[in-house]
Chains A and B, each alone.
Chain A
Amino acid sequence: MEQDSEFYIGWQDTAPPTYKRVVRRVVLGIFLLIPLLTLTIVYFQKGFSNGKFEYGKTTELEGVFTRIPVPFLTIKIGENPSGTPVLKKILLVGSGKFGFTIDPEIIKEGAQVKVSGFLIYNDGKTAFDVERITQSGDTISPSHPVIPDNPLPINGPLIALRGEITDPKCLLGVMNPGQGKPHRDCAIRCISGGLPPVLKVANEIGETEYYLLVGPDGTPINDQLLDFVGDGVMLCGRLEQQSDWWVLYTDPGTCKRIHKASLNPGPMCN
């Protein structure tokens, strides 16, 4: 109990004993709360991806440059038992929140190039933050297998995919987390800056795939999708495999916001 004789004055050197006792307990309580609270907050986070952005560690790669439907560097690894070329496709991205662009007069479609920059990778997908690009060999002919066999329009079946639209640069490792609501504005800036939108699709057991999104004719649909970034959406389109990447040629008009979980929505679109 506070004694009537006790009165606290801040500018005096000492506080009355009962005041001291209470404040000491409060301060101790707050200090004891720190480890408990920090552990609770940190432990109960959802977790982070294994994405890596090797910023500052320059890597040099050589391959074939293509910009349609999205900028790729294609590295030929060899051929599989059936004689099909095994290719590693690396998505080329610009610095900051920008997609990679270069004047077609300087680097032509199908040109052999050397790029230096920083690797970004996660879950089997790789992007490359291009610092420098130089032509290192002749431009290969359009019939070369490294150039994607891409006779537009794509004739594959219509596929419905459900997931979240974000930007591939952040998703693969520049930001962690690179998806979800806190990241929405950043993804909007990245996609608005020319990075191709990507749809991340995953099921409950963790199987995941990343689908780059372009229009039915292969042209960018970045601006049309900005309003859907960071939300759960469903898209319909025709799927094309570009080595280890998948591209969905989709009409942005088919993009719908969905709210209910569904494990097997069926592969076909009407």
Chain B
Amino acid sequence: MSVIYDPIHWTAHKRLYDWLLLTFVVIYLALFSGLQVLLFPQITLETIVIRATGTLAFLMLHIILCIGPLCRLDKRFLPMLYNRRHFGVTMFLIALVHGAFSIFQFHALSNTDPLVSLFGSNTHFDSIARFPFQSLGFFALMILFVMAATSHDFWLKNLTPPVWKTLHLGVYLAYALLLMHVMLGVIQLEQSPVLIGLIGFGMFTVISVHVLAASRQMKKDRAAQPYKNEVGISSIQSLKYNVPAGFVYACEVSEIPENRAKMLIIQGENIALFKYENKLSAVHNLCKHQNGPLSEGKIIDGCITCPWHGYQYLPENGQSPPPFTEKVCTYDVLVDGTQVYLNPKPYPEGTARPPALIGL
């Protein structure tokens, strides 16, 4: 969170993250190049650079792709998510070296412009065996470029988190393109079952964590919709006599741990219902920063704290504490005995709403 423009809001954690990242990159490149020279002294410098950067960028992409779903499966991976965009930008820069070297190596100093040559030398787009795999790498690099270029919070804020998130879904397409870039490119020459297996293992891992996290999230989303489970329906019938119009049954008070929240999806509204100091408040579930799930956050020092990057909001009015200016929508909450009711109609962002008091 920041109130003034700050290119990178450095924290101790970000510094450590970046040092580890840099060390990882340096060790990988040094080891890969050293082993190449040791085992294959006849290799050319250009091939070392192309292969070292290509394999490193592909490995980094695998790790990057696994961080998100791993955090959804286990919160303890969250420190890896905190500075993931530096990981992403570093990966792009390494992929850029690979791409630039490859384009120069294979297309420059010829009778055709290198970029024209990239798409014009081999035009068998209709054949899998002869597919121009380099174009796949080029398009993936372009996607990664757009993502790296828009990775800063400036773009996040100006594009709005939903648009930014949609744009950054492009990384999945980039991964698919790169997988085929490798399989239809260098693997057609190298052919080693070990290398093919390694790529298959990477693909299997990435798919597995994503499918697992998506399945678990699907269950969570279903559980967050009281209308769609039997308890909810029976409770709604009972609320006709006790609860004002517009309110719907949300959950039992006991379902929400102290200083934590329950996520609800009611009439399409994604709501985080917090319990703290014998009170209940509801705010929109999506953090203004990157649409992180506030319902998975915690109330710390009286503020709802987003699990992704620590953005904070006051539960009573959905406003970030001064001097910060972020605001989220708020909702009316009602407690009837042990049951919690919620009006899913959102108030404008930052509107103060009195919390519902438990046990009154």
Direct contact between the two chains A and B in their complex (CB within 8 A): yes
**Knowing A34-B24, A182-B185, A185-B121 touch, does A10 contact B11 (C-beta < 8 A)?**
yes
Q: Let me know if B133 and A181 touch, CB within 8 A.
A: yes
- Residues of chain B from 109 to 131 with CB closer than 8 A to chain A in the complex: 109-112, 117-118, 121-122, 130
Q: Let me know if B83 and A10 touch, CB within 8 A.
A: yes
B92 → A minimal CB distance (Å): 19
Which residue from chain B places its CB closest to the CB of A122 in the assembled complex? B42
**Knowing A2-B75, A8-B79, A175-B44 touch, does A189 contact B112 (C-beta < 8 A)?**
yes
Point out the residue from A12, A34, A41, A176 that lies within 8 Å of B27, measured CB to CB.
A34
Partner-contacting stretch, out of A47-55, A64-72, A84-92, A110-118: A47-55
**What 1/0 mask marks residues of chain B from 148 to 159 whose CB sits below 8 Å from any chain A CB?**
000000000000
Report the separation of the CA atoms of residues A98 and B112 in the bound assembly, to the nearest whole angstrom. 11
Determine which residue in A45, A97, A192, A231 has the highest number of CB atoms from chain B within 10 A of its CB, and name it.
A45
Report the separation of the CA atoms of residues A96 and B107 in the bound assembly, to the nearest whole angstrom. 10
**Knowing A30-B24, A176-B47, A231-B130 touch, does A9 contact B42 (C-beta < 8 A)?**
no
**How many residues from B make CB contacts under 8 Å with A?**
70
Q: What would be 26 A-B contacts, judged by CB atoms less than 8 Å apart? A: A4-B257, A8-B75, A8-B78, A9-B305, A10-B310, A13-B13, A18-B76, A22-B74, A22-B76, A34-B24, A37-B59, A40-B194, A41-B198, A42-B32, A42-B39, A42-B40, A45-B190, A46-B191, A46-B192, A96-B109, A97-B110, A181-B185, A181-B189, A182-B106, A189-B107, A190-B110
Q: A12-B310, A22-B76 are in contact. List 16 more A-B contacts (CB 8 A).
A: A7-B300, A10-B83, A11-B310, A12-B13, A13-B12, A14-B12, A19-B75, A19-B76, A34-B28, A37-B59, A39-B35, A45-B190, A53-B44, A181-B184, A181-B185, A192-B112
Spell out A's residues near B (CB within 8 Å): 2, 4, 7-15, 18-23, 26-27, 30-31, 34-35, 37-51, 53, 95-98, 175-177, 180-186, 188-190, 192-193, 230-231
Spell out B's residues near A (CB within 8 Å): 1, 9, 11-14, 20, 24, 27-28, 31-32, 35-36, 39-40, 42-44, 46-47, 51, 55, 59, 63, 74-80, 82-83, 105-112, 117-118, 121-122, 130, 132-134, 184-186, 188-192, 194-195, 198, 257, 260, 297-298, 300, 305, 307, 309-310
